[in-house]
Amino acid sequence: MILRPELTWDGGRFRRDREIEIENGLIREVRDATAPPEAGRALLPGFVNAHSHAFQRGLRGQGETFPEGRGSFWTWREAMYALVESFDVDSFRAACVQAFREMRAAGMTTVGEFHYLHHLPGSEGYELDEVLIEAAAEAEIRLVLLHAYYSTGGIGKPLAGGQLQFRSESPSAYWQRMDALAGKAELGCVLHSVRAASRADLATVRAEAKRRGLVTHIHLEEQQRELEECLAAYGRTPMEVVLETMDVDDTLTAVHCTHTLDSEMERYKDLGGRVCICPLTEANLGDGIPGGWFPVSLGSDSNARISMLEEMRWLEYGQRLTREERGCLRDAGGEVAPGLLRCATEEGADALGIPAGRIAAGCHADFVAIDLAHPALVGATDETLAAALVFGCPDGVIAGSCVAGRWL
């Protein structure tokens, strides 16, 4: 298959007269066009959603009234636990398929599913792991199964209630489960948070992930209370615990970092550590606005809203609103949109450790096609198209998306 879009994203700008040869689901070659283009389409790499909990799509529209006064992440978490305890196989599958289909419609061709809901209520089995894999296949989205280790219900506390459905018995049981999943899905390792694993387990699970060549993701410093509890228990911030116990390099992604101190982030980034931000979820949950850490990958997290175009724009807008200035996440050339597009593509792929997020030889043939005739793009030029997309367009400009050479 050869694609000849009118415009092709090269990682920094849109270019005319390029063609892309695809073979066996991979991009074989990108070169100068040998025939006229298909007018009216611009091609981007498929968006990579680096952090999702698909089942939380089942909460949409719920928990948005506050009869008992103000809500918080912690009151929302109670609603999430109630959802978890209500699931059977069919309702879990339906919520996941719905989320994954909405992701495809929003141009997300890969999802990094941070999967901690392993067991049905009252069960010790891992029924929901396989269901999740099937749901992704049904929605035809590329899945990186970020399988979570979760063993404590707060620092030094036993699991309780809905948390029992997240349970990992021990690091060795966790790796047995990972072995059972090998070959069924692309895998990554997860430590849910410093709340959900002892310091010894953070160290040993991360070390084994590194030995196996797997990326590792962890929720970090999303909430002030997480910092307070960690300081009380360990006399250290969660980021300090990570820096002390986990091998930090570019295969480690910390998700959120909403309240991370600049000095600690500097140490983390100097070691190569990656950051994933989920602007719409952080806004919905009232988490706060993270520092201008850049570049970062992006995630739809709670799936309260699924739109990569909105995640990109709110990454920059959050900074504009707190700093009272524009162009906060600009690159060396002073541009913002190309960097935001790299967050939605290359950075996500790198955080998940897969060859994607670029229209380049050897990468997965995963794309988003943009409808250049859409009314929201009237007046856009080759030079302003990226910014028009990021700041001015609804998801309706997405004409289709492609995973491994298959269009939907």
Q: Which residues contact Zn ion by CB under 5 A?
A: 301
| Side chain identity, residue 257 | C
Angstrom distance (rounded) from CA 257 to CA 52: 16
Q: Shortest Cβ distance from residue 50 to Zn ion (Å)?
A: 11
Find the helix packing angle between 238-245 and 199-211, rounded to 10°: 50
The SS3 call for residue 302 is coil
Among the listed residues 15, 6, 27, 16, the one whose alpha carbon sits nearest the alpha carbon of residue 367: 27
* Candidates 256, 350, 364, 366; catalytic one: 256
Q: Is the Cβ of residue 80 or residue 329 nearer to Zn ion in the bound state?
A: 80
Angstrom distance (rounded) from CA 106 to CA 284: 19
* Candidates 201, 287, 301, 366; catalytic one: 301
Q: Hey, what are 236's tokens?
A: 């250290």
Q: Shortest Cβ distance from residue 305 to Zn ion (Å)?
A: 15
Q: Is the Cβ of residue 301 or residue 350 nearer to Zn ion in the bound state?
A: 301
Q: Shortest Cβ distance from residue 35 to Zn ion (Å)?
A: 45
Q: Is the Cβ of residue 264 or residue 287 nearer to Zn ion in the bound state?
A: 287
Q: Is the Cβ of residue 221 or residue 301 nearer to Zn ion in the bound state?
A: 301
The number of beta carbons lying within 10 Å of the beta carbon of residue 135 is: 25
Angstrom distance (rounded) from CA 216 to CA 260: 19
Q: Shortest Cβ distance from residue 282 to Zn ion (Å)?
A: 10
Task: Evaluate whether 403 touches 109 at the Cβ level (below 8 Å).
Answer: yes
End-to-end CA distance of the chain: 15
- Burial of residue 374, with CB atoms counted within 10 A of its CB: 0-12 exposed, 13-18 middle, 19 or more buried: middle
Task: Evaluate whether 312 touches 340 at the Cβ level (below 8 Å).
Answer: yes
Q: Shortest Cβ distance from residue 111 to Zn ion (Å)?
A: 13
Q: Shortest Cβ distance from residue 48 to Zn ion (Å)?
A: 16
Q: Is 301 a catalytic residue?
A: yes
Tokens 């069960």 -> residue:
123
Spell out the residues 6+ positions from residue 201 whose beta carbon is closer than 8 angstroms to its own: 149, 151, 171, 191
Spell out the residues 6+ positions from residue 161 whose beta carbon is closer than 8 angstroms to its own: 81, 85
Q: Is the Cβ of residue 201 or residue 301 nearer to Zn ion in the bound state?
A: 301
Task: Evaluate whether 165 touches 118 at the Cβ level (below 8 Å).
Answer: yes
Q: Hey, what are 264's tokens?
A: 């600690």
Q: Is 147 a catalytic residue?
A: no
Q: Hey, what are 98's tokens?
A: 């719905």
Q: Is the Cβ of residue 109 or residue 253 nearer to Zn ion in the bound state?
A: 253
Q: Shortest Cβ distance from residue 49 to Zn ion (Å)?
A: 12
Q: Is the Cβ of residue 7 or residue 285 nearer to Zn ion in the bound state?
A: 285
Nearest position to Zn ion, beta carbon: 301
Q: Which residues are catalytic?
A: 256, 301
